Structures are given as C-alpha cells and as structure tokens.
Structure 1
Amino acid sequence: MPQNNTILSYFADGQDNEFCIFTNTLDTNTLQFFCCEDRVRNYLYYPAKLYTWQHICISVDLIQKRIFLVVNGDFREYPLRETKTGHNKPLFIRGGGRLVIGQELDSPEGGFNIEQILPSEIADVVLYDVVLSREEISSFMTCRKNIPYDPIIYADLNMTVLEVVGETSLSMIPEERLCAESPGYKQLFPERVTFWENIDWCRMLKGTVVLPDSEETNKEIYDKFYRFREVCVDRWRTFYYFGTLRNLTSDQWLTLEDNIPINAMCSACNFTTSPRLRLRGLCRESLIDRSFFLHDYFNDRPVFDGELELQLTSCGDGEYTCNSGACIKKDRRCDLVTDCPDLSDELDCDVVNVPEGYSSALPPPKISSGPLSLFFSIRIISIREFNLVAFTLVVDAVVTVKWHDSRLIFRNLRDDYHANKVKDFSQLWTPEIFIRDGSRSSADETLRSKDVYVMLQGEALPDDDALTGEDDTYSGMNNTLVMETEQTLKFTCQFELQMYPVDRQDCFLLFTIPDLNNEFGVLQKDSAGVMFEGSRRLLEYELVKEVLTEVADDRTSFMQVRLSFKNLYGYYVGNTFVPSLLLIVIAYLTLYFDYSDFQDRVMVSLTSLLVLATFFTQTSASIPRTSYLKLIDAWYVALICENFLVIVSLVVVENLRLQGKPVATKVIPVGEKLPKRPSLSLHEKMNFSLKIIFPIILFIILTAFFSFWSKV
C-alpha cells in the first residue's frame, strides 16, 4: 500500500496543506489532519480495516479549537494542536482553492504522486460549513441523515459538484448495504481437512469457524461458496463445517466442545476483517508488498510461486509462526515447553547467530578507543583440603568472565541468563584463563564443567522483515557473554609459621589471559569480585576474609585472589598450653616438699621434664619442620629450661643441706630450757629464694608469649 493514503486534500493560496486528511501505513493506526496554513497538525487514532465499509466523520471547531473524530460510532474528542505559536489572528481555512478526494495536491495544477493515492472505494462524501452536533453525526452514521443543513460539497452519480479525473469509476451501491452492520468477512478454503484441522486453520488466521445465525445468512454463505461444491462436498453431500456440535444426551446444538466428526470437508472461516498475512524474507530495498490480505480467489485457490525462501504468515507483531502456520506469543519460543501443534517452537533454539567470516581465534574488536574489558569474578564453593605439612590448598571454584562481542547477534534471550545457554561455544572466541599461585607457579586444574551463556541487558533490535525468521534478535554490543568454568584448583601456599599455632595465613591465586596484552584487553573486577559459599571453619583454620584485587604489569593484567585464614588454636590451648603449664607448676611445687625427701622431689621434677619433652616431640611431628623456631617451639623450650633449672636447684639445695648437717647430738636434761633456735641455714635460704624466683621467671615467659600472641 502507499505510504501516504490521502483521503482529502485542499490547496489554496500557495499552501498544499490548507486542509488535508490522510493516513500512513496500516500499522500506525493514525489519521492525520492538517489545516490553516499548516498551523494545525493533529494525529488522531484510526484503526483502519480493509475490505469493509467504514463510517468516518470529522467535525472541526476552529473557534473552540476542538476536533471530533467518529469511526463506526466510536466518538473521540481531541484539542486542536497548533504547530506555530505566536499568531494572534484566528484560525480559518482560506477559500478559492482546489479540492481533490483520494489524492494529495502538491500544486494548483496537481503535482500528483502515486505514493499519495488512496486505493479504495468511497461512498456518500459530504462537506458542511458548520459544526455538526453529536446527534447529527449519529444520524449520518446510521444513514438517517437528520441534518438540517445543505452540504457545500457532495458526491452524486451526476458529479454535480465534483469531477472524475484519472483511473476512477462510478457505481451505485444500495444504501442498506452501506449502512448494514457487517457480519464479518467469510472465506472458504477449497482443501478437504478434518474437523479439528479446520478449527486450527481458522484460528491460525485469527478467525472462527463459520456459524450462520439465520436462514438468510446461511443462503448467502452457500451461494458465495457454491462454485467449490465439486471439491468440498463429501459422501453425505455436506459442503463445509459449521462451528457447532450436537449433544445427543440433551438433544441440543452447542458450540465446539468435545465431539469429533469423521468426514473430511472444506474449511469455512469467519473473520471480523480480511485476514492479514505478512511476507518475510524480502530484501530491504524490495518494492514487493510485505502485507497481503485474503479477499478473493484466483483459479479457485490461492497460489504462491517463487524460488526464494519466504514466509507468508497471519501472525502479528509479538507472535511467532509455527511451521504449521499456527501463531504463538514470541515469549513462548524456546522456553522448553512445546506450544506449537507441530512442536516446532522448540527447534533451532541456539541463542547465537554466528555470521560468515567470524573467527573464533580472534578476540572481539574494541568497542571504544580503549582495550576490551573482561569482567572477572570468582565464586569459591568449598575448600577441599588445607594441608599444612605439604604447604598446599585445594578449592572448588566457579570462575566467571563477562565480555561483549559486537560481531555476534543473539536470539530469543530470557531474563535469567542461565536459560540462554550457548549449545556449541567452540565456534565462539572465549578467553583462556591461566592460573598461578602466589609464587607464580602454575596451579593444578581439574575441569568440572564449562558453559557459556548470554546475559540480556539491551533491548531487542527492530524487527527485520527481510529475514524469514521472527525470532527477537539482540546486538552483541549491548548484551553480555558469560563464561562460567567450574574447576578444582590445587596450588601451593607459602605458609609463614613463626607464630604457630596462633598464626594467620594468606594464600594467593593469580588469574590472567596470556593471549591478551594491555593494549587489546584487560581484566576488571566485576561487582563484589569474589564470593565464598562453603563452610569457613576447617579442622585447624578458619577462613576470615577473601579479597579480589586488580594487578597489572607492563604487558598484561592479573586478578589476584587473597584468602586469609586464622588458626583455631583452641585445640592447642587444651592439649598443649594448659597441660604443659600444669607440668611446670608441678615441678615448681617440689620446692615445698620436705628437705629430707630429696628422692621424691627429684623424681617428680624429672617426671615433669620427661612428660614435657614427650609433648614437645609429639607436637613437632604433626606440624611442618622449619629452619626457624615457631612460637609453640619457643613455648616448650622455655618451659623445659625452667623445669631443668628447678631440678638443678633441687640438687644444689640438697647438697647445701647435707653440708650444714651437725655431726653430734646434744642431750638436754628434763626441765632445762631449750636453747634458742639458730637462724635459717643456707639451704633453707636458697630454697626460699627459689620459691620467689621461679614464679617470676614463669611470669616473664607468659608475658612474652602473650605479647607475641596479641600482635597476631
């Protein structure tokens, strides 16, 4: 159809839009009204229909600046919209010009353009120079014409006022046919089908199975389709299906429900207007119409011929055409649920269109002047192993990289990107990630799964009817490719054990794409960057923090993951520190034994020393051997030394006691006063001093130990 369907055009005083009414394409549903030296431009809602009579009335009040549009009895009021402001003079339409119906005037002589013609039938055209009331408009719409004014322009068979020009013909049409309510457009398809196939066919074309509501309508339908009787009549002499069924139980004729007739006959469908079919697959520059309407027959059937792969469909915008011709909503395409009768909506559901010439060996082109951005994140699922002796860490992780590839076109994307899985991503360029540990050694990788998805972020591209497919398409520039790689990583962690068992450890992973240098692509942190989903408490350590940072050198960029752990030292408090501290207290308590009980004093201290040494040996066997002393080693060494000093002190005290022992025993008669007790001997003084010195030494050890502990 023409792009500008002019209903009426009036040229006056050098202005071609002095008074003009026209429509654009059918898809716009708009009627445009221009007037008054192009000072007024109104866009009015007009749902155009083909091959059916439509009653249209436009009433314009230039004083009140209101306009009424009535289409088939539907009244709509609009304010006049002036495009040129600042005019004080009133609105009016100048006289003395030239008026044409069905073609736009671009000059007083015509200046006709075939693109501005109105290909239609027009009946009963009248123009009044007064504003009609709503009641007068209604009378015209219903063919009563109770209008007390004479029209200034009108069309009659003698063309009293108007003149026929060009390829135009005049004919008469009964007024009752013009004013009668349209029962719909009926079309018979001369192809024998089953009853349910007939229903599907009519529904596909947005219609219903014919069901006459009167004997007159039935005769009209029969006469219209009589010429197809040889093709359609079955052995029961039945012509075509009605949209009704008989319930034998209630002996009533009902609308379509459960029963299925056996014979095959032709489909007769009823439509509110002629079914519209859209043709897809044409070149953008093609002059062939892209919309067709069922209206008549050629050789008693529609015929389509051609060598191109084209699609003629009755499905509208937002709908998808099944291979059978049925229509479903586009959002049901490739949703893992079959909606088409032939199940074709779940075929060819790959979300990526790879164009010719695409190379998976080449990275995507730059979108801007800077390098390509690849957004990195990692989701750590669990920590499988924390081996302190072997200096290794094993984690399960999902590495996610996001990027744009403007070379690609995506199809039928869903909001949840996991529903947009690329079936064969080997045909796409994907980043190859190399993983190192903190010492820049390669990490051991065990691949569990690798998938590529498309994340919907941009709007769908405009529908391109040069393509036969009706899938929603999306630009690779505005929508994101997402690669998720699940793998197990085993890597070396350089543990620093000086403060063991109250230590904190940092383990590092470095991710890079060696094929991309800083000029062509860089890794960037995506949102939070790193997430941890597993249990943070391990057997001996607890994960307290995970951090992702961007690192770069002169050639390439890195993403560094730092995992921070702290030692759960509760085990060592209960199994090492408290028992060893109690042992040294026991050794100290031997200073309070009787001086003469040297054997027990020494045996208790020696036993304490041996137990301390045993604890030390067992603990050292369960932790890595290092060239330096660990905090727990220093603890044991300090306590063992103090215990040893206690034993040495006991020996010295005993030796002094034996040296100061009297040789003879003095006997004192009964009743004689006892002599004064002499002052403390040397060994007693020394033993007393040791009772004070050893707690001080132990206090110094504990103070030093906890000062180091608090710094961790």
Structure 2
Amino acid sequence: MLATQPIKSMEFYSFSLDSGICQDPIRVLVFNGDGAQRDTTWAQYGATVRASGDYTLCLRFNIWVFRLLTAVVYLLSTRDFDDDPISFEVYFQKIRTKYGGYGRFYPLPANLATNKWYHYCQVRDVTSGEGRVYLDGDLIIRDPAYFTENRDERKVILGQDEFKVKYSLSGKVSQINMWSRPLTQDEILSLANCEVNLEGDLLTWSKNWQLYDIEEESVPLQELCRSVSRGRVTVPLPLLRFRDAVFVCRGLGGVIEVPSTPRQIERELGYFAGVEECDRQWSGITDEDKENVWRNPFSGDSFNTSQLLFRANNPDGGQYQNCIRLHQKGLEDTDCQKHSCSACHAFAGTTWTLRGICEEEERMYYLDLVPSPLSFRGYGEYAVQQGAGGVWAWSNIITNTTMATLSQEDVDLNYPVGRLTWNLQNPVCRQEAGLRVLTLSSCNVSQFTCSDGSCVDFAKRCDLKFDCDDKSDESHCDIINFPKDYRSKLPPRPASDSSLPIALDVTMDTLNIDTTTMLLSVSYNLRMTWFDNRLTFNNLKNMTRLNTVSLEQVAGLWRPHLGFINTDDIQNTAVDADAVTTVVKLDQDFAPDLSNPYEVEIYRGDTNPVSTIRKYSTVYTCNFDLVLYPFDIQNCYLVLQVLSASSDYLLYDAEGSSVEYLGPTLLVEYGVGRIDLRADNATQFAVARVRVELIRRYGYAMLNIYIPSLTLLVISYVTLFFRPSIFEVRVMTALTSLLVLATLFTQVSASLPKTSYFKMVDIWLLFCIVLIFLIILFHTVIDRYVDYSAFFGAAPGFKEGTWLRPPSGGRGTSSIKVLPANLKDAPPSPGSWRRGGVTAWQDKLRNFSVDLDFCLRFSKASIFATFLLFNLVYWGRLAAGSGLVYYLYN
C-alpha cells in the first residue's frame, strides 16, 4: 500500500503571509488515502442548497491518483439527480464543469500533477450570460452561455459520481464554499493566494458535513498554498561510492549539497540521525580532475580550498583523497572509493514518466517520487517499488498485478531509474512475457533522458555530437516511422484523393555551351520535395541538415523518379550515396510518443515534407536557331519528366518549384539571361522545363569577322579613287581583298554547325564579297572602254600621272572615242557587215564615247549607296529581338 500521510522529509522554500487569518487551521478531508477505489468513501453537506441564479463555487483539491474520471463535487437536484446538475470533475488533461443547464469539457493550460494543491472557482454569471473558470486565481475559461432557471433544492456530494467505484476520489479536498453572487477576479485571486479565508453564504465549509469512511485533518492555511511555490524532497541514499552516489542522484533529478555553514552541515547530517553506518556522508564536490580545484559534478561550479568549510588540518589526503564527507566539525577529505551515505535533494512535485508502455490514457504514464522508502506512485493505477528480495517491480496496485520486474543482468546499481531492461510478466504493447526496454525518467517534455537517467535538452538529441555521459543521445536516431502496410512502390495519395504535387528546386552551378555540336552541359543540384501522409517522423530539428534520413531507411522509402528527356542517352534521377534525403520541419506541432522508451517527438507526414537532393552533371541537347548569328539569343531546355506515375497521380507543384543559377553570368561565347521553370501537367506524364536563355557575346565576331571584313571592303572601295591608268594596282588590290574575304568566310562557316539557311554573318560576308566583285567589275568596264594612248596624244597639256582634263581655260568634259585597240586605225567600209575582221557591233562601238568622271563618280556613289542601304536594312533587322541590343537594356 502507498503511504497515506504527507512525506515527512518534504521541505518547502520560504513562504510568508501577512494576514493573521492565514495562520488559522483549515479542515482538510482525505479520500482514499491509500489510492484504492471505493464507493463507500464520500461526504455530504449537512443541508440542501438552492442556486437558481448567479453563483460562485470555489474549492481546493489535491489529487493523489487520477481516475479516468475523478469525481470532486456534485450539487444534485433532490427531485432528479440527472436534472441540470452543478458539478466539477477532473480528467488529468482537462476538466468538466457543469453550471446547471449548461456544461462542457475544457482543456487545461497544462496537465495536472499529483500531490499538489490547486484552487478552483467556477462562476455562473446570468446577467452577462457567461460562465467563467479560474485555476489558481487565473481566468482560464470565459464561455458565453444561456442558463436555464432551476429552483430545486440540491444535495452536495463530495468524492463520488453515482457511486461508481472507478470514479471515486483519491486525494484531498478543502475550503468548498459557494456564494450567491459572482466574485470578482481580485476576490478569487485573494482566495487562491491564501490572503483571505472568505466563506460562502450558500455553502459554507466550516459548517456540518456528513463524512463516510473519510479521514479528517487540520492544517494551517499557508500549507495549502505552499505547493504553488513548490519545494524539494530529500531521498536518503544508502552506502555508495562517491561516483555511484552522484550517478544515482543525478538520475533522480537531484543534487548532493555542499554545505557552506555549520547549520547546513547539521541539517544534512540530520537526515541520517540514528543510522549508525551513515554517521558520515558525502558532500557533492571532488577534486579528482585537478588537485585542490574542487568541482561540483552537478552544477559544474569550481571552488578553491579556502572557499570551503573544511575542518582543522583538512584537506590532508593530497592526491589520494579527492572526495569530501561531512563531519560535525566541518568537511574532511577522504578516498572516493569508500562507501558513504548521502542525501539527494530533488525538486518536489516533479512528474516522473514511465516510457515504453502502451496506454490509451496519458495519466497512466506518470508517477510521483516517494522518498522514503524510495518508490514511485502512479498518477493512475501503477507503481514502481521494491518487492521481496529487493527486486524492483512495476505493478498495478488496483488489480494487484505485477506487470514487469527489473532485469538484474545489466544493472550495476539496484535502481530503476533510466533506460533499463525489464522482464515482462504480463503482455505490454502486444508483447508477451520477455525482455523489454522501459525508461523511468524525471526529465520534462523539453528534455531527453540519457540511459543513466540524467537529462539533457531535447534539442541535443541526435544532433551529431555526444551530450550524455553514456553517449546514448546519439543512438536510435532513425527519422522515419514506416507503417506496416507501407508500400515503397506506390506513391502517396493525399487525403483529398487528388494528385500528389512534387516541388522541384534546380540550383545550377556551371553552364557550358558547345555551339558546333549544339550541346548544353550543366552541373546542378536537383531537389525534389513532396509530402507522404503515410509516414510519421521522429525528433525533427529546425536545422534541416540534422534531419537526414539514413541510407537504410531511404531504401524503403517511396521517391519520385524523374527522367532527363532531351539527352543523347537514357538518364534519370538516382538514389545512391551522393543523394541526401532529409525531412523539412515546417510544422512545429508534435505528439510525444510515450510508448517509445527512446523518447521521440512524433511529427506528421502530411505537414512536414520529405526532400531529396543530389548533384548531377548532364549534357542536354539544344536546338540552336542560328539565323541571327552572331547576334542570336538561344533558349535551351532541361526537360524533366515524371516516370513514377502518370499525371493522374503525380504532378509538379508549379508554385513551389524554383530554379536558380549561381555561376558566372558571362561565359566564353554567351551571356546567361533569364532562367525560369515551367510545369506542364496536362500531358500524360507531368513535364517540367527549365529554360536557360543564352545571349551570344558578339565581341569576338565583331573583332574577327565584321571589322576585318569591313576593313577589306573599305580597301576595295578606296581603289575607286586610284588613278585610272594604274589598272593592275586597282584590280590586284580588290582581288586580294576578295580572296582574303573568301578565306574568312570559309573559316567562319567551318566553325559553325551546317545549316540549310543563311545566317546573318553569312549575309554580311556574302554582301561584302558581292560588293567587292562589283568594284572589280567597275574597274574592268572603265579600263575596257578608255583608250589611254589616244587620249594622251590628243590632249594638249596632258601630263603623265594626271587625270584626263580639258586644256587650261576650257570648261566641260572632254569626249573620248573608245575603240578596240587593234581597230582604231581601220575605218570600216560603209554597207559592209564584216570588213577586215571588223564586225558591225564593233563599228558601233567606234562611235561610243564615255564620260570618265561620270563613270568614276557613278561607281563611287552606287557602291556607297548600296553599302548604306544594306546596312540600314541589316542592322535594323538586328535591332529588334537580337543579342545586339540585349545588353543595352539589361
């Protein structure tokens, strides 16, 4: 049986009250102090109560064992018990309040704890049409409600609900009062803080109560408020070596004190008064690590010898005595391997948790520490205590059934604290008799229990570095929980039965373009993200990299399979050692899995996505349109198609997908322009296209094609300004330019893909060739129809090396008759078609005359006009939608 009296070794921190009323003794009723369930333990108020309008009902309660429903107080109609009762019931995680004609369940800010006093008030305010609930003076419920009037007389019952055994109260009740008005929040706060002892006018605690199988005690009012500030409980530890005492005390969530005054030493020694073998006991400090530097193993604080209250001539053991025991005259050093008793001080009211069992009700997992003799009393029906032979047992004290006993094979110290192996005597979590790991821990919800029972921050669980002394925080770090019916070949199906969206993130590091082969080489990281509502995840961290899934679990995980469509060979996504699969923590909500002894926080799979990333280096084909070369803008695509299933099941999440380029924007031949990602879910298999815009950098073409060709064209054009008499120089210069330009044209064509259409550079070079060809034709015509020798002989004042001009003082232009050289002295015979080899057309040419200046001016003007007109058309075409003007606007 469990102890029915308050723990005598309990100490509380100082608590002072000014009001003298608070020193008056207050009656406390104790219901089922042994934790048993009975229908014979209850109390009834000595008179009936009528509460038809406004009222306030307040009481103090202290629960020792939480039932499925813990009955506290009921005001039942004498006419019909089921007719609009006024009541208060406790459910550990919630409460149920009934105001008479209205009531419901209300969640609590935090789970209730055993062996702790709470102050509760419920207010029915008919005027404002609302019900209010206060816990320890704080308003936790404000609920609008319509109240029906009920003028029936009511009986007041404590501790029973329809006298059903399983609902009976096990705990304490005090100060039940009821007022016929709504108390103000200040009044309720004063009551909760024990500042006043105000009694009700409808129901008065100090008046007559009929008690049935109930113990009654009187305590000062301040005792009812001390549990608000909490205190500490002292667990006496038997003879242990220093390290073992520290190990056990840390597992109990306590510390071994280091007294700094004689009074503190006397108090510590008092815990073992009369125990002969414990006349001396450990103090929580040692200098094993460094001589004369005393360190507290619980807090890590360090002290030198002068800061400690050593007795005379101590310490005197040097390096052979590194631990301290308490003596009435002060501290003395001794060998750490000796065995001594110690007082372990833990916080009062700490909730202990027994993990590894499977219970529908959360209350069944929690226990309280009972210091002497050391045991653990459950919030529900369980207890952990030593039985015959000193064997620790986990048992159901209601059914008197032993569930499991602590295995002694791997236990150095006979304490049940920490993550240990137990022998099942009854089925637990569908496991029959046998070995099972259970964890008994004092760690709170934000802490992780090391195997030795010590606590570290839960954020340090599975963070790739050891924080527990036994290194257990980096074990059992699997992220994914697979259900038994999980199929890795089947894609997840959202709850809406729609297609599963897959988000793509493409991060490109490098790009390389080969214009000749029309290939785009890309080095990129491909991330795929999706939700799998069939899964749950353990212990997710805010830093995604810490949520990496092991390769063993990845092998059993469904993953999207994508194909790289526009490649020369068959390529697709791979899952290997280079692929990293993680879980992204988007939802902060989790459910603790108390049935898992390794302590996990369970996160949902439908709100926290799975993500896999891998680096690829792929060569994609790219169909170049070289019409505007070298001022062309190319659009190359990375085509990624879902191969796992059709778009009826899998599609791309266009809004959640993205693409990013991290490399240089200026490449050897191209500049990288816009990059975007477009999803097409209308096809049979969803397709995503990553477009890479490439703008050719035309500086090379300008320096090596356009400027040289323009220079050659200018040289050829300049020959029109040479003296007409030097025909060989003019023609050779133009021909040389033509040959060089033809060679340049051949080289340019060889460096580009073979196309059936003309490119802009081809048009430019061909134009230059044609224009030089026309210049050569002009030179030929001029030379063919000008008789230089005749002109030189007939022209007075002509000097060699000058243009053909009329004599000085003349005006106009001289006319020259141009004849073939071999016929100039043979006049034709009239009427004869052929005479002496001279044909008729030659006879006509004999009379044809050419104005040389006109011919030269015409050739120069026509060539220049042709060049100008062509350039206006050529560069005007390039000014719209080409790379020529792209860099001017971007």
Question: What TM-score, normalized by structure 1, do the two folds share?
Answer: 0.79
Q: 1:483 is matched with which residue?
A: 612
Matched-pair contact (CA < 8 Å) for 1:320–1:333: yes
| Aligned with 1:208 (options 255, 270, 275) | 255
Q: 1:707 is matched with which residue?
A: 876
1:165-564 to structure 2, matched below 5 A, reads 165-166=212-213, 168-169=214-215, 184-190=232-238, 192-194=240-242, 197-199=244-246, 201-209=248-256, 217=267, 221-223=271-273, 233=278, 238-239=280-281, 241=283, 248-250=305-307, 252=309, 260-261=323-324, 262=336, 263-273=338-348, 275-285=350-360, 289-295=364-370, 296-297=372-373, 298=386, 303-304=392-393, 305=405, 306-307=423-424, 308-383=436-511, 385-424=512-551, 425-437=554-566, 442=570, 449-527=578-656, 529-551=658-680, 555-564=684-693
C-alpha distance after superposition, 1:440-499 (max 9, x if no partner): 874699999322111122344422323323211112222211121210011222222222
Structure 2: unaligned runs, 5 residues or longer: 1-65, 287-293, 295-302, 312-320, 325-335, 374-385, 394-404, 406-422, 425-435, 798-806, 817-849, 883-890
Q: 2:860 is matched with which residue?
A: 691
| Aligned with 2:146 (options 85, 94, 108) | 85
Partners of 1:595 and 1:116 in 2: CA distance: 127
> How has the CA–CA distance of structure 1 residues 518 and 454 changed in structure 2, closer, same or farther, with 3 Å as cutoff?
same
How far off is 1:192 after superposition? 1.6
Partners of 1:664 and 1:569 in 2: CA distance: 56
Partners of 1:370 and 1:200 in 2: CA distance: 55
How far off is 1:366 after superposition? 4.5
How far off is 1:325 after superposition? 0.9
> How has the CA–CA distance of structure 1 residues 416 and 663 changed in structure 2, closer, same or farther, with 3 Å as cutoff?
closer
Matched-pair contact (CA < 8 Å) for 1:501–1:631: yes
> How has the CA–CA distance of structure 1 residues 46 and 117 changed in structure 2, closer, same or farther, with 3 Å as cutoff?
farther
Residue correspondences, number: 669
How far off is 1:598 after superposition? 2.4
Partners of 1:467 and 1:641 in 2: CA distance: 87
> How has the CA–CA distance of structure 1 residues 478 and 620 changed in structure 2, closer, same or farther, with 3 Å as cutoff?
same
C-alpha distance after superposition, 1:647-702 (max 9, x if no partner): 2221221232226724856889xxxx978466354251322321222112222332
How far off is 1:619 after superposition? 2.4
Matched-pair contact (CA < 8 Å) for 2:509–2:661: yes
Residue identity in the other structure for 1:504: I
Partners of 2:874 and 2:249 in 1: CA distance: 90
C-alpha distance after superposition, 1:241-300 (max 9, x if no partner): 46898964356369xxx9744234344222442543212222334899322222243469
Partners of 2:141 and 2:520 in 1: CA distance: 77
Name which of structure 1's ranges 517-526 and 632-641 shifts more when overlaid on structure 2: 517-526
| Aligned with 1:114 (options 149, 161, 165) | 165
C-alpha distance after superposition, 1:218-244 (max 9, x if no partner): 575224xx56x65xx4xxx52454689
Residue identity in the other structure for 2:536: I
Residue identity in the other structure for 1:356: K
| Aligned with 1:603 (options 732, 735, 745) | 732
Matched-pair contact (CA < 8 Å) for 2:589–2:603: yes
> How has the CA–CA distance of structure 1 residues 209 and 49 changed in structure 2, closer, same or farther, with 3 Å as cutoff?
farther
Q: 2:67 is matched with which residue?
A: 2
> How has the CA–CA distance of structure 1 residues 120 and 93 changed in structure 2, closer, same or farther, with 3 Å as cutoff?
farther
How far off is 1:516 after superposition? 1.0
How far off is 1:420 after superposition? 1.5
> How has the CA–CA distance of structure 1 residues 180 and 658 changed in structure 2, closer, same or farther, with 3 Å as cutoff?
closer
SS at the partner of 1:657?
Answer: coil
Partners of 1:691 and 1:136 in 2: CA distance: 110
SS at the partner of 2:146?
Answer: coil
C-alpha distance after superposition, 1:546-566 (max 9, x if no partner): 232223565322112222212
SS at the partner of 2:565?
Answer: strand
Residue identity in the other structure for 1:497: L
Name which of structure 1's ranges 58-67 and 576-585 shifts more when overlaid on structure 2: 58-67
Matched-pair contact (CA < 8 Å) for 2:591–2:603: no
Q: 2:427 is matched with which residue?
A: none
Question: What TM-score, normalized by structure 2, do the two folds share?
Answer: 0.65
Matched-pair contact (CA < 8 Å) for 2:251–2:452: no
Q: 2:771 is matched with which residue?
A: 642
Residue identity in the other structure for 2:633: R
Partners of 1:277 and 1:534 in 2: CA distance: 56
Matched-pair contact (CA < 8 Å) for 1:205–1:275: no
SS at the partner of 1:434?
Answer: strand
Residue identity in the other structure for 2:492: P
Matched-pair contact (CA < 8 Å) for 1:35–1:93: no
Q: 1:158 is matched with which residue?
A: none
Partners of 1:445 and 1:12 in 2: CA distance: 73
How far off is 1:163 after superposition? 3.9
C-alpha distance after superposition, 1:338-366 (max 9, x if no partner): 32222211222222123334332332234
Partners of 1:645 and 1:57 in 2: CA distance: 110
Partners of 1:154 and 1:623 in 2: CA distance: 106
Matched-pair contact (CA < 8 Å) for 1:506–1:562: yes
Q: 2:23 is matched with which residue?
A: none
Structure 1: unaligned runs, 5 residues or longer: 156-160
Matched-pair contact (CA < 8 Å) for 2:631–2:698: yes
> How has the CA–CA distance of structure 1 residues 36 and 253 changed in structure 2, closer, same or farther, with 3 Å as cutoff?
farther
> How has the CA–CA distance of structure 1 residues 582 and 674 changed in structure 2, closer, same or farther, with 3 Å as cutoff?
closer
> How has the CA–CA distance of structure 1 residues 646 and 561 changed in structure 2, closer, same or farther, with 3 Å as cutoff?
same
RMSD over aligned Cα, in angstroms? 4.7
Partners of 1:567 and 1:45 in 2: CA distance: 65
Q: 2:761 is matched with which residue?
A: 632
SS at the partner of 1:284?
Answer: coil
Matched-pair contact (CA < 8 Å) for 1:510–1:559: yes
Partners of 1:637 and 1:347 in 2: CA distance: 75
Partners of 1:137 and 1:710 in 2: CA distance: 82
Partners of 1:150 and 1:627 in 2: CA distance: 105
> How has the CA–CA distance of structure 1 residues 483 and 710 changed in structure 2, closer, same or farther, with 3 Å as cutoff?
same
SS at the partner of 2:790?
Answer: coil
Aligned-pair identity (%) = 22
How far off is 1:77 after superposition? 7.1
C-alpha distance after superposition, 1:534-579 (max 9, x if no partner): 1121111122222322235653221122222122112222222122
Partners of 1:412 and 1:397 in 2: CA distance: 30
How far off is 1:376 after superposition? 2.4
SS at the partner of 2:591?
Answer: coil
